[in-house]
Amino acid sequence: MSFLETAKQRYSVRKYMDKPVEKEKVEQILEAAHVAPTAANRQPVKLLVVQSEEGLSKVGKAANIYEAPLAVIVCADHSKAWTRPFDGKKTTDIDAAILTDHMMLEATELGLGTCWICYFKPEAVKEEFGLPEHLEPVNILAVGYADEEPVDSDRHGKMRMPVDELAEHR
């Protein structure tokens, strides 16, 4: 499958089968995160991979993960962050987003569904998982086998602004 085909197939899954994600697939998803670029190669990200019933229950105190059998909590490590010297912009959220996107697309290629979750209680995640002060939970990636009909992979032409509005050539 080409990159564009994979990207077009990905959608936010909100209903998962009661089936665990195989260890090999989890490893491939994490490898996709591992090869993702970060600003100045600082790698200011920590991933909490949650699959146990107890761990998923803890995640459930912070967010609705739609009963996914796997959740990856993507945390920014502020102690490693690169800062743009001109305006003080820290790239932790950007780096976390890049890793998350790599994991989502790899999961899609592996036949898994995902949902990028930003609607969660960060303090609950910090408390439930005992995160140190320098780690900030940025998002949660729910992963598993979709238990719903996939959306139309050609939906982007109808749901998105036209490319000529998105991109301005100068």
Q: Which residue type does 136 have?
A: E
Is residue 61 domain-resident? Answer: yes
Residues 13, 142: Cα–Cα separation, whole Å: 8
Contact 108, 9 (CB under 8 A): yes
Is residue 2 domain-resident? Answer: no
10-residue stretch averages of pLDDT, the chain, 170 residues long: 94 98 98 98 98 98 98 97 97 97 98 98 98 97 97 91 94
The torsion defined by the Cα of 49, 17, 57 and 122, in degrees rounded to 10, comes to: 60
Is residue 64 domain-resident? Answer: yes
Residues with Cβ within 8 Å of 24's Cβ and at least 6 positions away in sequence, in order, are none
Is residue 167 domain-resident? Answer: no
Is residue 155 domain-resident? Answer: no
Domain containing residue 86: 11-148
Is residue 160 domain-resident? Answer: no
For 114, list phi and psi in degrees, rounded to 5.
Answer: -140, 160
Number of domains the chain is built from = 1
- From the list 64, 53, 48, 59, the residue with the least C-alpha distance to 18 is 53
Is residue 31 domain-resident? Answer: yes
Identify the CATH number of the domain in which residue 118 sits: 3.40.109.10
Residues 114, 105: Cα–Cα separation, whole Å: 9
Predicted confidence at residue 1, as pLDDT, reads: 84
pTM of the model: 0.96
Predicted confidence at residue 75, as pLDDT, reads: 98
41: left (phi over 0), alpha (psi -120 to 50) or beta: left
Is residue 75 domain-resident? Answer: yes
Predicted confidence at residue 71, as pLDDT, reads: 98
Predicted confidence at residue 23, as pLDDT, reads: 98
